[in-house]
Structure 1
Amino acid sequence: MTEERRQELAGLSQLLDRIGQAPRTDAERIRLGEMLQAVGQGSFGPLLLVPGVITLLPLVGDIPGVPTLMALLVLLVAGQLLVGRRTFWLPQWLLKRSVPHGKLDRALTWMHKPARVIDRGLKPRLTWLTQRAGTYLIALFCFLIALAMPLMEVVPFSANGAGLALMMFGLSLMANDGLWALLALILTGGTVGAVIVALL
């Protein structure tokens, strides 16, 4: 078992702390790989949480290209889980993509208060949705969300809805909370449906 696996995240607040404290090789920007290394790449939950939070955050998720970049990460991770992999490979060119750390730090500060409220609402329940076959269902829905995310860049606020759904899926897996997974499934359907209607 890797060190990343042993130090599993306890909730959204801890994930925000780890992203904010991630070592940075650039004075102006923070790389995706640096964020993932800080939160751990050993399990599916954190690898959904990072793109979900980044896409949801104000100032960051609205930067052109960021939703598509996060979609690529989700496609790779969810796709690998669907074909049976338990360790995840990510290309260096993707890990080297970056966002301005000034905007990220301000957005993380804004997110801390709601994160504490969210963490208090997490607990094990409806666990059949977050284990075994339920994990594959979540991976499939995340894959579908990621396919739609590039189109969401032209529909205002829809990418933020996708980010919220990904964040909820990640939290549900980390906390073994199937209620959050169920709510994320509903949100996914509503968000994708709204994008389809907007583009018709």
Structure 2
Amino acid sequence: MAAETGPASLGELLERVSHAGRQDHSVSLRALLEAVGRRSFAPFLLVAGLVTLAPLVGDIPGVPTLMASLVLLAVGQLLAGRRSIWLPRWLLERRVSRARFRRVLAWLERPAAWIDRLLKQRLVWLTRPPAHLGVALTCLVVALAMPPMEVIPFSANGAGLALTLFGLALLADDGLLALLGYLLTGGTLAVVLASLMG
């Protein structure tokens, strides 16, 4: 059964996804999203951002583009006013091995408690409606830029971090993280444009 509400912290998100598809030898995107819920935009951004950032997964060719597809579909439906987010089967059935999934979770769990202690409600005018639409549109731009980032070293990491910051900002109503996400997006896109034009 899909989770009815989204996670309240990064630690809770990781706890939920650790149980995703526990009986399977590999973990599908469907299992991950069912674990975190499809009624909140923040978990989609966090899953896409963390997967792009994570070693052993984010470095696999095609993964940043796959995560960009996830974000594009989620943003489009958020802007259309849908209450839950639909994704096509071809995307939901993408899988990673259980062993690799466990290693990535172990890598993410180390900073999770520290990050959660930093989260707090502040500058909420940057995260609450209608400001959340600005976050969504910025994530749309990030997602559109992610495919060419696959050939520019480390730029996809900047995109993954920006998506993670926006996801955490919406999750915790932390406008400071949204502001950092905007700044990082601008810097990352500037690097990408310079590389493509150079």
Aligned twin of 1:186: 183
Q: Report the CA distance shift for 1:68/1:97 in structure 2 as closer, same or farther (over 3 A).
A: same
Taking the TM superposition and a 5 Å limit, the aligned residue runs for 1:45-194 are 45-194=42-191
TM-score, normalised to structure 2, is 0.94
Q: Quick check: 189-198 or 70-79, which moved more?
A: 189-198
Query: How far apart, in 2, do the equivalents of 1:3 and 1:20 lie?
Result: 14
Q: Which runs of 5+ in 2 are unaligned?
A: none
**Residue deviations 1:8-67 (CA, integer Å, cap 9, x gap):** 31211221222222124641x211111111111111111111111111111111111111
- d(CA) in 2 for partners of 1:11 and 1:63? 27
**Percent of residue pairs identical:** 56
Where in structure 1 are there 5+ consecutive unaligned residues? none
Q: CA deviation at 1:104?
A: 2.1
Deviations 1:93-136 (A, max 9, x none): 11011122322211210121211111100011111111112110
User: SS state of the match for residue 3, structure 2?
Assistant: helix
Tell me what 1:16 maps to.
14
Indicate if the aligned counterparts of 2:2 and 2:36 stay in contact, CA closer than 8 A. no
How far is the alpha carbon of 1:75 from its aligned partner? Answer: 0.1
What is the TM-score normalised by the length of structure 1?
Answer: 0.93
**Number of aligned residue pairs:** 197
1:136-169 deviation digits (Å, cap 9, x = unpaired):
0000000000001111111111111111111111
